[in-house]
Amino acid sequence: MAPGDWFIFEMIDNVAVLTLNHPESMNIVNRELFYEMHEMQNKIEADPSIRAVVIKANGPHFSAGIDLNLLKSVDSQFVAENLNFLQRLYGRWQEWHIPVIAAVHGICYGSAVELILGCDVRVASDDLRISIPEVRFGLSPDMGGTVRLTQLVGMGQAKRMILGCEELNAQEALQIGLVEIVVPRDKLEERAIKLARRMAGMPPMAIRFAKRGINLANESSLAAGLAFEQAQSVFCCGTEDQTEAINSFFEKRKPEFKGK
């Protein structure tokens, strides 16, 4: 890894693992991280063999959030020119056909919370401390925080966290649905990668349509969601992977899926 790199990229079978790797700065979010994350996303998109992603961090904390020095240096013109790119950066995980899992521990503040909100599943360690304190610094969350947090935990809890800038521990985050799984700190990476590998081993087309259907259900009407279910079922029934899934079950062997 070259000096200054913000991510370590590695493959575990067909799971891509992205590791934030500036623990000396508590993996603080700055311009360099944004641009390197964009490069990592391009790399993953270009590799069809990748079937799941895990985002984690080195050091005692996941991330302390945005670099306040960056906030001091930008103005409305910078925001107008860059925010669309930055919002898509955190939302891009949802555009993919593959699942993205965040493994989060220690402190996770502000912009880092918005990052994990853009993932599909959040696995937390029992030492998690999570807060979205932008209002304290004269801002409202602007990279999906007000939208995705509200969708995930509801209006009341979102207002509590955003307007009150309250810090939650792992169990509180689990209770309100901000994270889906809590494990001891020494089991965090193992649990997240185990889940990612499980999802990566499923038929790719089924994963694709299931993720898209769940996203659609969160953003549209019942009628639209049911129409999508009908369309995906017409497509998936009779595919090679569906046949392989059923045959391998009866033959008690590991399936070999081709995404067809």
Which residues participate in catalysis according to the annotation? 114, 134
Kindly tell me if the per-residue pLDDT of 3 is higher than 50: no
Report pLDDT for 246.
Answer: 77
The residues of the chain that CATH labels 1.10.12 are 204-251
**Which pLDDT band holds residue 1 (cuts at 50, 70, 90)?**
very low
Identify the residue with better confidence: 221 or 182: 182
- pLDDT, tens digit (0-9, with 9 covering 90-100), for 6-64: 899 999 999 999 999 999 999 999 889 999 999 999 999 999 999 999 999 999 999 99
pTM: 0.88
Kindly tell me if the per-residue pLDDT of 76 is higher than 90: no
Report pLDDT for 255.
Answer: 81
- pLDDT, tens digit (0-9, with 9 covering 90-100), for 139-182: 888 888 999 999 999 999 999 999 999 999 999 999 999 999 99
Report pLDDT for 86.
Answer: 83
Kindly tell me if the per-residue pLDDT of 80 is higher than 80: no
**201 φψ region: left (φ > 0), alpha (ψ -120 to 50), beta (else):** alpha
Alpha-carbon distances of 145 from 70, 88, 196, 242, 259, rounded to whole Å: 19, 13, 24, 37, 33
Kindly tell me if the per-residue pLDDT of 75 is higher than 70: no
Report pLDDT for 231.
Answer: 79
CATH fold for the domain made of 7-200 = 2-enoyl-CoA Hydratase; Chain A, domain 1 (3.90.226)
Secondary-structure class of domain 204-251 per CATH: mainly alpha
Alpha-carbon distances of 228 from 97, 98, 99, 216, 243, rounded to whole Å: 15, 18, 19, 8, 22
Give the integer Cα–Cα distance in Å for 245 and 217: 26
Alpha-carbon distances of 119 from 130, 179, 256, rounded to whole Å: 16, 11, 27
The residues of the chain that CATH labels 3.90.226.10 are 7-200
Kindly tell me if the per-residue pLDDT of 82 is higher than 80: no
Give the integer Cα–Cα distance in Å for 18 and 73: 28
